[in-house]
Amino acid sequence: MKITILGATGQTGEILVKKALLRGHHVTAFARTPSKLNIQHHLLEKVEGDAMDAKQVRSAIKGADAVISVIAPTPKSPDDLMQAAAENIVNAMKENNVDRLVWSTGAGVRAPEGQPTLMQKSIEALLKLLSPKVLINSERGTERIIESDLRWTIARAPMLINESRNNDYKVSYVGPEMGRSVTRENFAEFMLDAVENDSYIHERPAISD
């Protein structure tokens, strides 16, 4: 399978690239500075570009079977980063006849099935207080994906941690069953599984350990 990964040089993105290559996929790694990706592989193509540039996104997605976005906003990101990235990805996928997308975001982005506990509501309130721009940015990008007619999966993560993968991930919604964190390895594992198994279409699950 040919998979375009956007945000490939981030901490989760690099793990995702490595896992996809180990599974035998051809990977197009799209990033602003792809040289940061210290991986060499005959199935890997590194592409320099900005997710806010429609032409560059369209070129990176051409020929793909599926797209995984692990682009994530920071407090210093442009206010419209995720919305613009989502718009460019949706349009590029339609133009290239690619319809399978896994879009990652934080568990603070609500889903209708969620039943957050009091503690989870408190954490969400704190996030809104400390990083309101990050949450709004993420929500707007996610909304654009949901509005599309793509075969999307919104993969939502609580706190991402860098520990080694030592157990299987859990798939649930924000509520009593969701753990407080997920390893980046497990989160990457879920996204690849979703693409390979063509699962969780038009769903917004939360992944945790």
Domain ranges of the chain: 2-208
For the entire predicted model, the pTM comes to 0.92
What region does 7 belong to: left with phi over 0, alpha with psi -120 to 50, or beta? left
pLDDT single digits (tens) 145-160: 999 999 999 999 998 9
Whether residue 162 contacts residue 184, with contact meaning beta carbons closer than 8 Å, is answered with yes
Residues constituting the chain: 209
Which residue bears the tokens 């896992």?
Answer: 19
What region does 28 belong to: left with phi over 0, alpha with psi -120 to 50, or beta? beta
pLDDT single digits (tens) 108-157: 887 777 666 555 555 666 565 556 688 888 999 999 999 999 999 999 99
- What is the domain class of 2-208 according to CATH? alpha beta
CA distance 67 to 65: 7
Question: Is residue 151 helix, strand or coil?
Answer: strand
Query: Does residue 187 register a pLDDT over 60?
Result: yes
Mutual orientation of helices 132-147 and 118-130 as an angle, nearest 10°? Answer: 110
